[in-house]
Amino acid sequence: MPGSTIGQLFRLTSFGESHGAAIGGVVDGCPAGLELDLVSVQGELDRRRPGSTPLGTTRNEADRVEWLSGLYATPVPAFAGMTTRSDITLGTPIGFLIRNTDAKSSDYDALKDVYRPGHADRSWEQKFGLRDHRGGGRSSARTTAACVVGGAIARQLLAGAGVRVNAYVSRVGEVHVLRDPRELDLNATWASDVRCPDTEAAALMRRLIEQVRAEGDSIGGMVRCVVQGLPAGLGDPVFDKLDADLAKAMLSINASKGFQIGSGFAAAMMRGSAHNDGYWIGSAGEVDTRTNHSGGTLGGISTGGEIYFDVAFKPPATIAQAQHTVNTEGKEVVLEARGRHDPCVVPRAVPIVEAMACLVLADHWLRQRVARV
Amino acid sequence: MPGSTIGQLFRLTSFGESHGAAIGGVVDGCPAGLELDLVSVQGELDRRRPGSTPLGTTRNEADRVEWLSGLYATPVPAFAGMTTRSDITLGTPIGFLIRNTDAKSSDYDALKDVYRPGHADRSWEQKFGLRDHRGGGRSSARTTAACVVGGAIARQLLAGAGVRVNAYVSRVGEVHVLRDPRELDLNATWASDVRCPDTEAAALMRRLIEQVRAEGDSIGGMVRCVVQGLPAGLGDPVFDKLDADLAKAMLSINASKGFQIGSGFAAAMMRGSAHNDGYWIGSAGEVDTRTNHSGGTLGGISTGGEIYFDVAFKPPATIAQAQHTVNTEGKEVVLEARGRHDPCVVPRAVPIVEAMACLVLADHWLRQRVARV
Amino acid sequence: MPGSTIGQLFRLTSFGESHGAAIGGVVDGCPAGLELDLVSVQGELDRRRPGSTPLGTTRNEADRVEWLSGLYATPVPAFAGMTTRSDITLGTPIGFLIRNTDAKSSDYDALKDVYRPGHADRSWEQKFGLRDHRGGGRSSARTTAACVVGGAIARQLLAGAGVRVNAYVSRVGEVHVLRDPRELDLNATWASDVRCPDTEAAALMRRLIEQVRAEGDSIGGMVRCVVQGLPAGLGDPVFDKLDADLAKAMLSINASKGFQIGSGFAAAMMRGSAHNDGYWIGSAGEVDTRTNHSGGTLGGISTGGEIYFDVAFKPPATIAQAQHTVNTEGKEVVLEARGRHDPCVVPRAVPIVEAMACLVLADHWLRQRVARV
Amino acid sequence: MPGSTIGQLFRLTSFGESHGAAIGGVVDGCPAGLELDLVSVQGELDRRRPGSTPLGTTRNEADRVEWLSGLYATPVPAFAGMTTRSDITLGTPIGFLIRNTDAKSSDYDALKDVYRPGHADRSWEQKFGLRDHRGGGRSSARTTAACVVGGAIARQLLAGAGVRVNAYVSRVGEVHVLRDPRELDLNATWASDVRCPDTEAAALMRRLIEQVRAEGDSIGGMVRCVVQGLPAGLGDPVFDKLDADLAKAMLSINASKGFQIGSGFAAAMMRGSAHNDGYWIGSAGEVDTRTNHSGGTLGGISTGGEIYFDVAFKPPATIAQAQHTVNTEGKEVVLEARGRHDPCVVPRAVPIVEAMACLVLADHWLRQRVARV
Chain A residues with CB under 8 Å of C9 CB are 370
Q: Which of A9, A32, A370 sits opposite C31 (nearest CB)?
A: A370
B69 interfacial to chain C (CB closer than 8 Å): yes
Of C253, C210, C166, C255, the closest CA to residue C53 belongs to: C210
For the cut 80, the answer to whether the pLDDT of residue B105 exceeds it is no
Per DSSP, the three-state class of A161 is: coil
D17 to chain A, minimum CA–CA distance in Å?
6
pLDDT of residue D78: 44
- Mean pLDDT for chain B overall: 90
Q: Which residues does chain D have within 8 Å of residue B160's beta carbon, measured at their own beta carbons?
A: 373
State pLDDT tens for residues C157-190: 999 999 999 999 999 999 999 988 888 999 999 9
The closest CB to that of B370, out of D92, D237, D369, belongs to D369
Q: Is the pLDDT of residue C276 over 70?
A: yes
Q: Which domains are delineated in chain B? A: 5-372 (3.60.150.10)
The one-letter amino acid at B199: T
Cβ-Cβ contacts under 8 Å, D88 against chain A: 130
Residue-level pLDDT at C101: 82
Residue of B nearest to C2 (CA): B29
Q: Would you state the pLDDT for residue D342?
A: 84
In this complex, which of A238, A246, A249 lies closest to B3 when CB atoms are compared? A238
Query: CB of C246 within 8 Å of any CB in chain D?
Result: yes
Q: What's chain C look like in SS3? A: CCCCEECCCCEEEEECCCCCCEEEEEEECCCECCEEEHHHHHHHHHHHCCCCCCCCCCCCCCCCCEECCCEEECCCCCCCCCCCCEEEECCCCEEEEEECCCCCHHHHHHHCCECCCCCCHHHHHHHHCCCCCCCCHHHCHHHHHHHHHHHHHHHHHHHCCCCEEEEEEEEECCEECCCCHHHCCHHHHHHCCCCCCCHHHHHHHHHHHHHHHHCCCCECEEEEEEEECCCCCCCCCCCCCHHHHHHHHHHCCCCEEEEEECCHHHHHHCEHHHHCCCEEECCCCCEEECCCCCCCEECCEECCCCEEEEEEECCCCCCCCEEEEEECCCCEEEEECCCCCCCCCHHHHHHHHHHHHHHHHHHHHHHHHHCEC
Are residues D30 and D13 in contact, defined by beta-carbon separation less than 8 angstroms? Answer: no
- For the segment B232-251, the average pLDDT, to the nearest whole number, is 97
Residue pLDDT, tens place only, C78-115: 444 444 456 899 999 999 999 998 655 565 667 778 99
Q: Round to whole Å and give the CA distance between D344 and D183.
A: 26
Tell if the CB–CB gap between A97 and D97 is shorter than 8 Å.
yes
Is pLDDT above 50 for D81?
Answer: no
Q: What value does the CA radius of gyration of chain A take, rounded to a whole number of Å? A: 21
CA dihedral sign, ordered C62, C63, C69, C70: negative
**What is the average per-residue pLDDT within B242-254?**
98
Burial class (CB in 10 A: 0-12, 13-18, 19+), C220: buried
Query: A136 to chain B: nearest residue by CA?
Result: B299
Helix (H) or strand (E) holding B246: helix B242-251
User: With an 8 Å Cβ cutoff, are B264 and A257 in contact?
Assistant: yes
| pLDDT score for D186 | 93
Instruction: Provide the pLDDT for residue C340.
Output: 63
Chain C residues with CB inside 8 Å of A362's CB? none
Query: CB–CB of A110/A335 below 8 Å?
Result: no
Q: Please tell me which of the candidates A8, A24, A33 has its beta carbon nearest to residue D95.
A: A24
Please name every residue paired with A13 in a beta bridge, in sequence order, or none if there are none.
Answer: A5, A26
- Which pLDDT tens digit goes with each residue over C249-260? 999 999 999 999
Cβ neighbors of C18 (< 8 A, separation 6 or more) are C100, C103, C134, C135, C136, C137, C138, C140, C142, C143
Mean pLDDT of A255-278: 97
Residues of C in contact with D247 (CB under 8 A): 244, 247-248, 250-251, 259
pTM of the model as a whole: 0.96
Give residue C202's Cα distance to chain centre: 20
Q: C75, exposed or middle or buried, with CB in 10 Å at 0-12, 13-18, 19+?
A: exposed
Q: What is the pLDDT of residues B134-148, one digit of tens each?
A: 656 888 889 999 999
pLDDT at position B50 is 66
Q: What is the pLDDT of residue A306?
A: 97
C327 pLDDT higher than 50 = yes
pLDDT of residue D182: 84
ipTM over 0.85 threshold: yes
Beta-carbon separation of A69 and D20 below 8 A: yes
Q: Which of A19-23, A210-214, C340-344 has the lowest mean pLDDT?
A: C340-344
Residue C80 contacts A where some CB pair is shorter than 8 Å: no
Query: Which of B177, B304, B312 has the alpha carbon at shortest distance from B247?
Result: B312
The pLDDT of residue B78 is: 44
- How much is the average pLDDT of B211-231? 97
Q: Which residues touch C255 (CB under 8 Å, ≥6 apart)?
A: C141, C313, C314, C316, C317, C345, C349
Q: What is the mean pLDDT of residues D277-287?
A: 93
Please state whether beta strands A287-289 and C66-67 pair in parallel, antiparallel, or not at all (unpaired).
Answer: unpaired
Say yes or no: B267 contacts chain C, CB-CB below 8 A. Answer: no
Compare all CA atoms of chain D with the CA of A133 and give the residue at the minimum distance: D72
Question: Is the pLDDT score of B54 beyond 60?
Answer: no
Contact B267/A174, CB-based, under 8 Å? no
Longest dimension (CA), chain D: 71
Q: Is B373 on the interface with D (CB under 8 A)?
A: yes
- Is the pLDDT at D94 greater than 70, yes or no? yes
Tell me which chain C residue has its CA closest to the CA of residue D315: C272
pLDDT at A81 over 80: no
* Cross-chain CB nearest to A138 (options B143, B237, B372): B237
pLDDT exceeds cutoff 80 at D191: yes
**Cα separation of D369 and D373, whole Å?**
9
Judge whether residue A245 has pLDDT over 50. Answer: yes
Q: How far from each other are the two terminal CA atoms of chain A, in whole angstroms?
A: 36
Give the per-residue pLDDT at C181.
82
**Residues of chain B found within 8 Å of residue C33, distances taken between Cβ atoms:** 128-130
Residue D333: band (very low, low, confident or very high) from pLDDT cuts 50, 70, 90? very high
Give pLDDT, residue B102: 63
B 133-162 residues with CB < 8 A to C: 137-138
Confidence of residue D104 (pLDDT cuts 50, 70, 90): low
How far is the alpha carbon of C228 from chain A, nearest alpha carbon, in Å?
Answer: 20
Interface of B with A in 177-206 (CB under 8 A): none
Residue D225's pLDDT is what? 98
Residue A352: name the closest of A109, A144, A60 by CA.
Answer: A144
Q: Is the Cβ pair D372, B91 closer than 8 Å?
A: yes
Indicate the angle between helix axes C242-251 and C346-367, nearest 10 degrees. 150
**pLDDT band at residue A72, thresholds of 50, 70 and 90?**
confident
> What whole-number distance in Å separates Cα of residue C239 and Cα of residue C244?
7
Residues of chain A with Cβ-Cβ distance to B270 below 8 Å are: 173, 219-220, 314-315
Is pLDDT at D82 greater than 50 in this prediction?
no
Query: Could you tell me if B364 lies within 8 Å of chain A, comparing CB atoms?
Result: no
Query: With b meaning 16 or more CB within 10 Å and e meaning fewer, what string describes C268-298?
Result: bbbbbbebbbbbeeeeeeebbbeebbbbbbb
Q: Which of B9, B34, B371 sits opposite D31 (nearest CB)?
A: B371
Contact B272 A316 (CB under 8 A): yes
d(CA C371, CA B275): 47
A88 touches chain D (CB under 8 A): yes
In a mutational test of the D interface, the residue from B71, B364, B370, B372 whose CB has the highest number of chain D CBs within 10 Å is: B370
**Cβ-defined contact of C366 to A366 (cutoff 8 Å):** no
3-state secondary structure of D32: strand
Contacts of D33 in chain A (CB under 8 A): 128-130
pLDDT, mean of residues B147-163: 98
Residues of C in contact with D209 (CB under 8 A): none
Separation of alpha carbons A213 and A233, rounded Å:
45
Name the closest residue on chain C to residue D322, using Cα atoms.
Answer: C273
Asked if the C-beta of A117 comes within 8 angstroms of chain D's C-beta atoms, the answer is no
Predicted pLDDT at D106: 60
C88 with B137: Cβ contact below 8 A: no
Average pLDDT over residues D198-225: 96
- CB spacing of B370 vs D31 below 8 angstroms: yes
Q: Rounded mean pLDDT of B207-232?
A: 97
Nearest-neighbour CA in chain A from B176: distance (Å): 10
Distance between alpha carbon D210 and the CA centroid of its chain, in Å? 23
Q: How confident is the model at residue A86 (pLDDT cuts 50, 70, 90)?
A: low
Convert the pLDDT of each residue in A305-348 to its tens digit: 999 999 999 999 999 999 999 998 999 999 986 666 789 999 99
**Closest chain A residue to the Cα of B308, Cα to Cα:** A257
Chains that touch D (3 or more CB pairs under 8 A): A, B, C
CB pairs under 8 A between A and D: 156
Instruction: Flag whether residue C72 sits within 8 Å of chain B, measured between CB atoms.
Output: yes
| Average pLDDT of the residues of chain D | 90
Q: Determine the residue of chain A that is closest to C158 in CA distance.
A: A373
Residue B104 to residue C281: CA distance in whole angstroms: 62
Q: Residues of chain D with pLDDT > 70: what percent?
A: 88
Quote the pLDDT of residue C85: 55
Main-chain phi, psi angles of D349, to 5 degrees: -75, -20
Q: Are B83 and B39 in contact (CB under 8 A)?
A: yes
Chain B residues within 8 A of C66 when measuring between CB atoms = 21
Taking chain C, what is the end-to-end CA distance rounded to the nearest angstrom?
36
Lowest-pLDDT range, A159-163, A245-249, D47-51, D229-233? D47-51
User: What is the sign, positive or negative, of the torsion defined by CA atoms of D263, D266, D272, D275?
Assistant: negative
pLDDT at A202 over 90: yes
Contacting residues of C for B88, CB less than 8 Å apart: 130
Strand ranges (E), chain B: 5-6, 11-15, 22-28, 35-37, 65-67, 71-73, 86-89, 94-99, 164-172, 175-176, 221-228, 256-261, 279-281, 287-289, 297-298, 301-302, 307-313, 322-326, 332-336
Indicate if the pLDDT at residue C53 is higher than 80: no
- Of C119-123, C299-303, D201-205, the poorest mean pLDDT is in C119-123
pLDDT at residue C74 above 70?
no
